Amino acid sequence: MKKIALFTSGGDSPGMNACIRAVVRSGIFKGLEVTGITHGYEGMIEGKFIPMKSESVSGIIQRGGTILKTARSKRFMTAEGMKLAYENLSREKIDGVIAIGGDGTFRGALEFNRTYDIPFIGIPGTIDNDLVGTDFTLGFDTAINTVVEAVDKIRDTAASHDRLFFVEVMGRDAGSIALLSGISVGAEAILIPETKTHVDRLINTLKKGWHRNKTSMIVIVAEGEEAGGAYQIAELVKKQFTSIETRVTVLGHIQRGGNPTCNDRVLASRLGVAAVEAMMEGRREVMAGLINNEISFTPFSQAVKQHIINQNLLKIAEILSL
């Protein structure tokens, strides 16, 4: 093992830059040559390789986004695209690749390794916290803190005007952001893709709160919630619950940006170093994660399986919304 490459892929998440820094500097510390690939798998196909030195990653630990850029690549999922990627990796004499991304990134690596013999190690970089094999993914802590800060401000307005707010957060297939942020802001209800939404039950909950003279109410809705998202849910509720003004706020991409929290910076640093060490130990097709505060490695084939929502947290959210 003499030369490794790293790239970021899929949606950006706070902590990716801190992780790039950790991979580069730990690789150099171990005597490796480190190369960055810009724009994810697409950059691998197009040969966008740049040498990474220690000074290349100075002053980035606090920055959101990714200095290596990111992209989703349909071409990489074709035989022709993978062949071009392999040829470029071979030309650059890359002995192994560290991929920072989510389930799509790891599925791409799995598919690539069915044909080509270049080891991949994954690091979970996604705000959705939807991968098996790690308690938290890079960017999740920052994202939920962004949501909490925003909803706390919305709560001020809701209380001032006696309003009901539906706040839509990210989570097309996973409700972790909605669930944890909803508990943190004291939401009256939390709607996520993993559970069925009963609109009549939601309306009853809101009516009970209103009759107890609550001055504001917040419903957190994951964007992938099966009943259709915040606007659709709000319309259904307004038809049957006309005694209170209703507003909708979609937080959108602000959840992906911003300076990573201390937790995300430390997690990124630990996983970056662990990935380099795993590569040098001969591991391949595994994701580095953190379980019970200990580094763990999970095969890509397991990591991309559907993440199971914490049922105890759902119970807590229901109890505390009374």
Q: Which residues are catalytic?
A: 128
* Cβ partners under 8 Å of residue 66, min gap 6: 8, 12, 16, 17, 20, 100
Q: How many CB atoms lie within 10 A of CB 92?
A: 17
Instruction: Retrieve residue 186's tokens.
Output: 């004291």
Annotate the chain with three-state secondary structure: CCEEEEEECCCCCCCHHHHHHHHHHHHHHCCCEEEEECCHHHHHHHCCEEEECHHHHCCCCCCCCCCCCCCCCCHHHCHHHHHHHHHHHHHCCCCEEEEEECHHHHHHHHHHHCCCCCCEEEEEECCCCCCCCCCCCECHHHHHHHHHHHHHHHHHHHHHHCEEEEEEECCCCCCHHHHHHHHHHCCCEEECCCCCCCHHHHHHHHHHHHHCCCCCEEEEEECCCCCCCHHHHHHHHHHHCCCCEEEEEECHHHHCCCCCCHHHHHHHHHHHHHHHHHHHCCCCCEEEEEECCEEEEEEHHHHCCCCCCCHHHHHHHHHHCC
